[in-house]
């Protein structure tokens, strides 16, 4: 199998390294910064004999070597900086995503695409809108990451293992995300057996603030280990045709009474990409919150539609 990673910054390079370590695919990294992708790829190649894998890795500034990719992971763009509005970030990263989409359509039109760049739900929409890729082969990575954060916070609160925690986070990747407290459990035992409502509400809010908490600690950067690991879990499901049910930013058209929108929902992933959006039972409050999250995403798309004419 072959994967292309667009963007060789912290998230992109760590994603490439995890793909190689898992033996999932040969990897090509592409980045506009001269020498960045090539240099990191050479470093990774030299680590392969020590780590014990035989996957090949290369890097460059051109999209031509992405030809024949089974999977493309897009991490290109900038992180939000202090004083930067969401509109500023959208204008920059939306423009980058539109260019990337056109390049990938020419280089590897048969690939499955995972978008990681923020603002996630809108950039996924922009990629699909700008490229010729069908909806089932375009998705965004956010739900797996947000779910991992929710599981981590629950495990730390109860003093247990995050592996025993089952949970899911839906909706947009941001303040309006919807951690499903009603679905959360520890080894099959409902979360409410371990924690009271106020504690659960605090963990839900910490999950929503998960990325910002790390930015606040780092001061000059943002998360990349967990985003990369979450992306590779999706990549494994696709490249190995595992049919895993994961929360991803997928196209909904009727499910949950939502239409023509990319939003975080449970989806079964396999070699074809999003093979099915799976309905799960939500409480009335959760369904309402999911629709409110969808409104936030639509509003951001409207902002993009107004901005793109100025690029």
* Catalytic residue set: 173
**Helix or strand or coil: residue 40?**
helix
**Helix or strand or coil: residue 99?**
helix
**C-alpha radius of gyration, the chain, whole number:** 19
Closest to 114 in 3D by CA, of 207, 4, 2, 254:
4
Whether the CB-CB separation of 72 and 4 falls below 8 Å is answered with yes
Closest to 141 in 3D by CA, of 161, 169, 107, 165:
169
Distance CA 47, CA 43 (A): 6
Distance CA 243, CA 269 (A): 5
What per-residue string of b and e applies to 122-159 under the rule 16 or more CB within 10 Å gives b?
bbbbbbbbbbebeebbbbbbbbbbbbbbbbbbbbebbe
Distance CA 47, CA 54 (A): 10
Question: What phi and psi, each to the nearest 5 degrees, are found at residue 244?
Answer: -75, 145
Helices (H), the chain: 10-21, 36-51, 86-107, 120-130, 143-158, 197-208, 210-218, 225-239, 284-307
């Amino acid at each position: 199998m072959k994967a292309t990673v667009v963007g060789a910054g912290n998230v992109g390079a760590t994603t490439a390294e995890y793909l190689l370590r898992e033996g999932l695919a040969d990897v090509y990294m592409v980045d506009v910064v001269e020498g960045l992708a090539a240099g990191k790829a050479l470093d990774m190649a030299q680590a392969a004999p020590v780590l014990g894998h035989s996957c090949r890795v290369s890097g460059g500034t051109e999209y031509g070597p992405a030809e024949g990719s089974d999977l493309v992971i897009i991490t290109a763009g900038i992180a939000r900086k202090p004083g930067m509005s969401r509109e500023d970030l959208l204008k920059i990263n939306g423009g980058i995503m539109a260019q990337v989409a056109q390049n990938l359509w020419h280089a590897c039109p048969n690939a499955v695409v995972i978008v990681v760049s923020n603002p996630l739900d809108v950039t996924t929409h922009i990629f699909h809108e700008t490229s010729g890729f069908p909806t089932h082969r375009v998705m965004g990575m956010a739900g797996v990451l947000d779910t991992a954060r929710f599981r981590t916070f629950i495990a730390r609160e109860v003093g247990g293992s995050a592996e025993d925690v089952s949970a899911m986070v839906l909706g947009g990747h941001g303040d309006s995300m919807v951690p499903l407290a009603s679905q959360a459990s520890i080894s099959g035992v409902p979360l409410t057996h371990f924690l009271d409502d106020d504690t659960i509400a605090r963990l839900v809010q910490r999950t929503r603030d998960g990325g910002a908490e790390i930015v606040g600690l780092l001061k000059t950067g943002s998360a990349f280990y967990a985003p990369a690991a979450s992306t590779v879990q999706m990549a494994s499901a696709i490249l190995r045709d595992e049919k895993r049910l994961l929360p991803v930013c997928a196209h909904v058209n009727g499910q949950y009474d939502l239409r023509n929108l990319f939003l975080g929902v449970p989806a079964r992933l396999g070699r074809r990409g999003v093979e099915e959006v799976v309905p799960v039972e939500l409480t009335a409050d959760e369904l309402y919150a999911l629709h409110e999250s969808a409104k936030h995403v639509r509003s951001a798309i409207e902002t993009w539609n107004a901005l793109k004419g100025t690029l």
